[in-house]
Amino acid sequence: MELKKNPKVDLTKNSGLYFVIGLFVVMSLVWGALEWKTYEGGNEYDISMNVDDDLDEEVPMTEQLKTPPPPPPPAAPEIIEVVEDEEEVEETVIESTETSQEEEIIEVDDVEVEEMDDDVDVPFSVIENVPVFPGCEKESNKRACFNKMIQKHISKNFRYPEISQEMGVQGRVAVMFTIQKDGSIGNIRMRGPDKNLEKEAARIIGKLPKMTPGKQRGRAVRVPFSIPINFKLQ
């Protein structure tokens, strides 16, 4: 015998619709629970800025400066009595220094000025008559002959100090000296890199012979002269 179902009592007829409705209700409840917010009453907040009012602070009063009292007014000047000057005052007469045509002019003889024998130094480069080195008396260019002979004298008497050679000291020594009015050599000064080299340069210049002194305007004068001496190791 076959079983027959009544369509009115079929429970699965609208199951899909009921599932959708139930799902919508459940989702609505979940969304409402998540979005539900509660607020506590009675709490009021001041949203104004919390700024301290510095204007309420007490500002210390500035002490009043005690100024000294003004000085008393100056005393009134004493009354000056005017006394008439009965004495006569002699007037000073200023005479003019200008000469008139009536005055005689006295002629004065020429005044003789004595030449002062000034002890001056005349450099070798500007002196009129250079000092004459022995052996240059007959040379026409005595200045060039002087330079040649002094170089020859340095080469002849040159001797390198042994202690400077051992220490490896070399360099240029500038020598300044003066040819005196009698032709002798004096006032020798040196400047160099080593004391031993300076001492040797002074020895060489000190051996210069006596010369004929230089002359300026016909008078013997002192003539300063300078020359470098090179000390170089081979």
Q: What is the rounded CA–CA span in Å between residue 176 and residue 226?
A: 4
> Model confidence over 175-219: pLDDT tens digits?
999 999 999 999 999 999 989 999 999 999 999 999 999 999 989
Q: Where is pLDDT greater, at 67 or 173?
A: 173
d(CA 181, CA 127): 13
* Cα 17 from Cα 11, distance rounded (Å): 12
Specify whether the CB–CB gap between 125 and 214 falls below 8 A: no
Considering its fold, how many domains does the chain have in total? 1
In a domain, 225, yes or no: yes
Q: Is 104 exposed, middle or buried (0-12, 13-18, 19+ CB in 10 A)?
A: exposed
Quick check: is 26 in a domain?
no
- Domain assignment present for residue 13? The answer is no
Q: Where on the phi/psi map is residue 139: left (φ > 0), alpha (ψ -120 to 50), or beta?
A: beta
| 216 CB neighbour count, 10 Å cutoff | 16
Q: Is residue 102 part of a domain?
A: no
Residue 169 is part of a domain; what is its CATH number? 3.30.1150.10
**Phi–psi pair at 78, nearest 5 degrees:** -65, 150
Q: Is residue 216 included in any domain, yes or no?
A: yes
Question: Is residue 34 in a domain?
Answer: no
| Residue-averaged pLDDT of the chain | 76
Crossing angle between the packed helical segments 142-157 and 195-206, to the nearest 10 degrees? 130
For the stretch 85-130, pLDDT in tens is: 555 656 655 555 555 555 565 565 555 545 545 578 899 888 999 9
Two structure tokens written together for 106 = 């006295």
Residue 83 located in a structural domain: no
- Please tell me the distance from the alpha carbon of residue 111 to that of residue 52, in angstroms, as a whole number: 103
Q: Is residue 183 part of a domain?
A: yes
For residue 180, give its domain range. 142-231
